[in-house]
Amino acid sequence: MATLLRNRPRVLTRALLGLFVALAIGASTPADAAATFVDAVLAEVDGAIVTASDAAIGKALGLFGLEATPRSIHTEDVRRLADAWLAIAEADRLQIAPAPTDIEEAWGAAAALVGGMDVLRGWLDQAGLDETWVRKLVEADLRWRRFIEIRFRAFVFVSEEDVTKTIGPGPHAPDVHEKAVTALRDEIARRDLTAWLAEARSRAIVRTTGVEGTGLPPPFTLPENAGTPATVSP
């Protein structure tokens, strides 16, 4: 997790749960002052901080299973991020890492969700976000997805008996059979991931602050075309 949460150049962070954290403090120009926002610690997972800005960036770029609607941050978003932090820590332990080309592809896909690289970088500048930090979150999302694929989906076996129970006996079009296999594989992988997360939570120190309450506004405006991710987590 150190690779994910280290080196936030424009962020003043302190691991005090419930603390609101000022960002870009000491701005020396009006442009810097305009980019100043206030962050909040949402949770701590084995010493790694989950912040409101992590959640907002996740919502904007479709990371960690977060969705752009609603734009406010809710308890479910915090839970998803805490679970993602646990999975990323395990991916680091197992040395599951994407190739540089995969990272570049993921960065391009994140940009495409909001309307292209120029739009993405314009939003980062307007929000006062450091591109290196946001790229690290995109890379972390990729490691999270890769962990789920390698640790769970790759080991799922779907029997023909299970397929028949799903779509019924008799001949079926190839696409019907394929969709049934995919749905069953996803269901089994999701169940196994849920069980693994329950065990991982029991072994970890996970503390939440509850500052999101019934809905915490993001610390900066999300892009107009904020993205929606593929569903990969329970």
- Region of poorest pLDDT, from 75-89, 132-146, 176-190: 176-190
pLDDT score of 115 more than 60:
yes
Q: Identify the residue with better confidence: 136 or 16.
A: 136
Tell me the pLDDT band of 24, cut-offs 50, 70 and 90.
very low
Summary mean pLDDT of the chain: 82
Q: What is the pLDDT of residue 9?
A: 37
Q: What is the pLDDT of residue 227?
A: 62
Question: Judging by beta carbons within 10 Å of its beta carbon (0-12, 13-18, 19+), is residue 62 exposed, middle or buried?
Answer: buried
Provide the whole-model pTM: 0.79
Q: What is the pLDDT of residue 17?
A: 40
Please give, one letter per residue, the 3-state secondary structure of the chain: CHHHHCCCCCECCCCCCCCEEEECCCCCCHHHHHCCCEEEEEEEECCEEEEHHHHHHHHHHCCCCCCCCCCCECHHHHHHHHHHHHHHHHHHHCCCCCCHHHHHHHHHHHHHHHCCHHHHHHHHHHHCCCHHHHHHHHHHHHHHHHHHHHHCHHHCCCCHHHHHHHHCCCCCCHHHHHHHHHHHHHHHHHHHHHHHHHHHHHHCCEEECCCCCCCECCCCCCCCCCCCCCCCCC
CA distances from 19 to 1, 43, 82, 134 (A): 21, 10, 17, 22
- Region of poorest pLDDT, from 24-28, 73-77, 184-188: 24-28
CATH topology of domain 2-147+192-208: Triger factor/SurA peptide-binding fold (1.10.4030)
- Region of poorest pLDDT, from 6-15, 53-62, 95-104, 146-155: 6-15
Q: Identify the residue with better confidence: 48 or 4.
A: 48
Q: Identify the residue with better confidence: 115 or 155.
A: 115
Mean pLDDT of 104-121: 94
The percentage of residues in the chain with a pLDDT greater than 90, rounded to a whole number, is: 57
pLDDT score of 195 more than 70:
yes
